Structure 1
């Protein structure tokens, strides 16, 4: 968990969000969440549908107040109480923009710019997000990925200090996704603090300085990708050699050794040691290990492991 320090731009402390009956009865979408994001960092908030990501982001954006706990932006600002001070410094990219379909891209950005404090030039915002060639196109004629770029253009229009990105590359083709990643990196290099929610784990893995995985309203894991992945075992696979049974195999220092449809599957906390032991055993026995494959744990495996964990998700304790 990131420590709360004066350098943090976002500080969330023991935040709860209750829905339904008051007095700690009913549904709790957010359950005692604490994290912090430093200036210029990119923080990814991950989780399955219903994990509490959207409710948490809405609290950070000031759309509603936490039932319990505190949220502070820029040191001392409450996003609800101090909305007039916070809003000009924040950019928000929602999952859907709700644009007027009969306006062009340029008209949409120009209209939004008139409602934005210290808006950057319209042409600059459009070019920044790769829409210059589509400036005169009606919104209704844009592809899904182009509409996401327009969402992003509006979010960065005011050169925000903090930028909330909710599924920013949803609907984009691979080229558009990578171009958007480059833009996000460029914004971060300008000291923009970014909070990202995404279902693309590769996106979080490539972009995030640190991340948290929510499950049933709580943060189930947090830290860098390496921190989270290191808590899960690596794997080694090879075809079960002829005339060898599972009971003939040494442990190889693995935490488990299983046979699945003719393939030996080992899980281990020390992949190098286990792989070395398996290769030495094969060499000494004159055995060829076919289908040999070694793989470290991945963010996807860590995510799926957390997602499969069942807890009492519905009622507040």
Structure 2
């Protein structure tokens, strides 16, 4: 079978394409990139040191009755677990909504709807997160459900925008080559387009994760729990130990999640992207 001629500023000759497996060998597939020891160890070590110093300071602080009541019954660990749960669940819903929607909007048939969908997502991102949560209380009531829905709406834009951008920046000659050997539209999407769009999609997911960690601190105001309980209690009662504990745990969690996401980017990012040039 004869190859499909390339296009663009620097066309790449496709040559003779024998079967689908030959194309897959030339396309980037998921594989682990080298992760240095510094990348693997440095950030966890810094965060562990910060937590250790904070804990030693906390243990040496003479707490009054108000501070002890704020942290009684393992409240700190309960709020930390709630914060992690809120972040994980909201991010899960962001992924199952934003990525399929981004794929759908990148198809020629639905590109007319793309500006409308992006405008709606931009409204959710531009609106104050506390305002979204407050409005959702009227709709779904007080509790974790309102917090999860609000956090999901707030973090949709980065993943949706990056999914669309990643699929739109793919070299058309690769798609033409895949279609030229008889691959279906679904096969092209699964074996060509999505692997090439992975870097941008992962960058959006990383942004959404960090956003959700920060937004989860506001879940307390709608009865959703989280570390916002400690932060708010420390501010309203003027208790610095409680405020510092809540703030340090929130910042540490955000940095830890960002570090995990950066490792995922290195592990899942396809190798050999230069073949599309």
After TM superposition, is the score higher than 0.5? Answer: no
Going by fraction, where is helix more abundant, 1 or 2? 2
By relative contact order (CA 8 Å, sep 6+), the higher-ranking structure is 2
Going by fraction, where is strand more abundant, 1 or 2? 1
Q: TM-score range by the shorter chain?
A: under 0.3
TM-score, normalized by length of structure 1?
Answer: 0.21
